[in-house]
Amino acid sequence: MDDIEQHKNWLKVLALANESLTRKLAVAKALDLGWGGISTVARISGMSITTIRKGIQGVPS
Protein backbone atom coordinates (compact mmCIF):
# COMPACT_ATOMS: atom_id res chain seq x y z
CA MET A 1 0.00 0.00 0.00
CA ASP A 2 1.45 3.37 -0.93
CA ASP A 3 1.86 6.17 1.61
CA ILE A 4 -0.83 8.41 0.15
CA GLU A 5 -3.48 5.70 0.20
CA GLN A 6 -2.50 4.67 3.72
CA HIS A 7 -2.82 8.24 5.03
CA LYS A 8 -5.69 9.52 2.87
CA ASN A 9 -7.96 10.42 5.80
CA TRP A 10 -5.18 12.43 7.45
CA LEU A 11 -4.56 14.23 4.15
CA LYS A 12 -8.27 15.16 3.97
CA VAL A 13 -8.03 16.81 7.38
CA LEU A 14 -4.76 18.49 6.41
CA ALA A 15 -6.42 20.02 3.35
CA LEU A 16 -9.05 21.71 5.54
CA ALA A 17 -6.58 23.25 8.00
CA ASN A 18 -5.13 26.75 7.86
CA GLU A 19 -1.38 27.18 7.37
CA SER A 20 -0.45 27.23 11.04
CA LEU A 21 -2.55 24.19 11.89
CA THR A 22 -1.22 22.37 8.82
CA ARG A 23 2.31 22.71 10.13
CA LYS A 24 1.30 21.52 13.59
CA LEU A 25 -0.55 18.51 12.19
CA ALA A 26 2.43 17.64 10.01
CA VAL A 27 4.76 17.73 13.02
CA ALA A 28 2.37 15.61 15.08
CA LYS A 29 2.07 13.04 12.28
CA ALA A 30 5.85 12.90 11.76
CA LEU A 31 6.43 12.35 15.48
CA ASP A 32 3.66 9.74 15.58
CA LEU A 33 5.23 7.81 12.69
CA GLY A 34 8.63 7.75 14.38
CA TRP A 35 11.72 6.82 12.38
CA GLY A 36 11.30 8.10 8.82
CA GLY A 37 8.24 10.12 9.79
CA ILE A 38 9.63 13.44 8.57
CA SER A 39 10.40 12.05 5.13
CA THR A 40 7.05 10.29 4.90
CA VAL A 41 5.07 13.39 5.87
CA ALA A 42 7.10 15.54 3.47
CA ARG A 43 6.48 13.07 0.64
CA ILE A 44 2.73 12.71 1.13
CA SER A 45 1.96 16.34 2.04
CA GLY A 46 4.34 18.17 -0.26
CA MET A 47 5.75 20.09 2.69
CA SER A 48 9.44 20.81 3.01
CA ILE A 49 11.52 18.53 5.22
CA THR A 50 13.09 21.70 6.62
CA THR A 51 9.68 23.08 7.61
CA ILE A 52 8.77 19.88 9.42
CA ARG A 53 12.14 19.75 11.20
CA LYS A 54 11.80 23.37 12.34
CA GLY A 55 8.36 22.57 13.68
CA ILE A 56 9.71 19.60 15.62
CA GLN A 57 12.44 21.77 17.13
CA GLY A 58 9.72 24.06 18.48
CA VAL A 59 7.91 21.24 20.28
CA PRO A 60 8.57 21.27 24.03
CA SER A 61 10.14 18.06 25.29
pLDDT of residue 4: 79
Asked if residue 30 lies in contact with residue 57, where contact means CB atoms within 8 angstroms, the answer is no
| C-alpha–C-alpha distance, residues 49 and 16, integer Å | 21
- Per the structure, the count of domains in the chain is 1
What residue ranges of the chain have pLDDT lower than 70? Answer: 1
pLDDT of residue 59: 83
pLDDT of residue 5: 86
The model carries a pTM of 0.86
pLDDT of residue 1: 55
Domain that holds residue 45: 3-57
pLDDT of residue 56: 93
